[in-house]
Copies of this chain bind each other. A is one copy, B any other.
Amino acid sequence: MRIAVIGLGLIGGSLLRALAAAGHDVVGFDADPETRLLARKAGFRVAGSVRETVAGSAVAALAVPLQVLPEVVADLYGYDGLVTDVTSVKGPVRHLLEGRRFVGGHPMAGKETSGFAAAEVGLFSGCAWVLCLEPDETDLGDWLLLAGMFTGMGARVVPATAAEHDTAVARISHVPHLFAAVLAQQLGGSPLAGALAAGSFRDGTRVAATRAELTAAMCGGNRDAVRAELGRLMGELTTMAAALDHPEPVKALVPLLRPASELRRAWPPAPGAAEKITARIDRLLELGRSGGWVTSVNGTDLVGMRPESGRIVP
């Protein structure tokens, strides 16, 4: 079975390497001629166009940024195999690919460097790879094919609907980027604060150093979920501000802060024992909602895991 990888940056390049290492027949393409040359020099088969790459492939993995995805999808004209992607927002991509054999994906992997030169065969080992499932829409066979491919590379495949994914990443990545930016901005005009800043500031603002264009694309691409979560958290901050105005602010703050302290100390949860998972969309979505993931796929025999307590909520 041949797999086409379109876009050979950090994620696409690592995917090409990992799939080849897992014994798959792979062919790659990148819009940049230098990147194509690099991949060829690394011993990979690289085609000259999107159409040429996907011709004869059973799966086309689109590893390009969100903003060029419509262009690449247009270039798929004529290809009727299975399509997946790796972008960080799943609702808009689901609409873009409507009417195709499509299962959206999002590997939660990355590092500070980018490009094919930074690609690593082991980038996805142990990483969570969201693979979208929509009741009455996704073909379970297609989903299992991809789940087998990704678990075969060592990824933990997390089933979720596109909407569930977008809310979750708004919570754990996009809104944290906005919070970090707002905290880092305080350095402006305040060299004294910069001189006193230490651990809590360093960690709380680390991702604020991300290029503004990248953070904006991420948050803007997931605007609906980010807007909703940001609004909810601003409500929580308003409650904190009211506690500071309380006659006894320390007493008023403790119950507001305790759940966060307990939740954070319980994270990340320890994985429980391996369990058999029924290959059904509703059962898979339930696994994802409980914080679990699929670790191996053998036909329709699935093995999965979930957090030790079943739920990480204390």
Contacts from A to B (Cβ < 8 Å): 108, 110, 128, 130, 158, 160, 164-165, 167-169, 171-173, 175-201, 203-213, 215-217, 219-221, 223, 226-227, 229-231, 233-234, 236-238, 240-241, 244-245, 248-261, 263-265, 267-269, 288-293, 306-307, 311-313
Please report the C-alpha to C-alpha distance between residue A249 and residue B142 in the assembled complex, in whole angstroms.
Answer: 34
Contact assessment for B313 and A260 in the assembled complex, using a CB-CB cutoff below 8 Å: no
Contact assessment for B187 and A250 in the assembled complex, using a CB-CB cutoff below 8 Å: no
Q: Per a CB cutoff under 8 Å, which of B197, B206, B267 touches A268?
A: B197
- Known contacts A195-B158, A267-B197, A216 near B253 by CB under 8 Å: yes
Q: Name the residue of chain B whose CB is nearest to the CB of A290.
A: B191
Contact assessment for A179 and B204 in the assembled complex, using a CB-CB cutoff below 8 Å: yes
Give me 19 other A-B pairs in contact (C-beta within 8 A), A168-B193, A195-B307, A216-B257 excluded: A130-B196, A158-B196, A172-B193, A173-B197, A176-B205, A178-B240, A182-B240, A184-B267, A185-B259, A185-B263, A187-B312, A191-B290, A191-B292, A203-B204, A212-B254, A212-B255, A212-B261, A213-B250, A227-B245
Contact assessment for B234 and A249 in the assembled complex, using a CB-CB cutoff below 8 Å: no
Contact assessment for A244 and B264 in the assembled complex, using a CB-CB cutoff below 8 Å: no
Q: Per a CB cutoff under 8 Å, which of B193, B207, B231, B306 touches A241?
A: B231
CB distance from A229 to the nearest CB of B (A): 7
Q: Per a CB cutoff under 8 Å, which of B187, B220, B250 touches A221?
A: B250
Q: Per a CB cutoff under 8 Å, which of B183, B187, B250 touches A217?
A: B250
CB distance from A105 to the nearest CB of B (A): 13
CB distance from A305 to the nearest CB of B (A): 10
Please report the C-alpha to C-alpha distance between residue A180 and residue B180 in the assembled complex, in whole angstroms.
Answer: 10
Q: Per a CB cutoff under 8 Å, which of B200, B209, B210, B291 touches A176?
A: B200
CB distance from A277 to the nearest CB of B (A): 15
Most buried by B among A178, A208, A260: A260
Return chain B residues, CB-CB under 8 Å to A108.
196, 198
Return chain B residues, CB-CB under 8 Å to A180.
200, 204, 260, 264
Please report the C-alpha to C-alpha distance between residue A197 and residue B254 in the assembled complex, in whole angstroms.
Answer: 25
20 CB < 8 A contacts A-B: A108-B198, A110-B199, A128-B198, A172-B196, A173-B200, A176-B204, A179-B204, A180-B264, A181-B256, A182-B233, A184-B263, A185-B260, A187-B313, A188-B259, A191-B291, A203-B203, A215-B253, A216-B251, A219-B244, A223-B244
Return chain B residues, CB-CB under 8 Å to A158.
192, 195-196
Most buried by B among A198, A223, A244, A265: A244
Q: Name the residue of chain B whose CB is nearest to the CB of A261.
A: B212
Please report the C-alpha to C-alpha distance between residue A259 and residue B130 in the assembled complex, in whole angstroms.
Answer: 32
Return chain B residues, CB-CB under 8 Å to A291.
191-192, 194-195
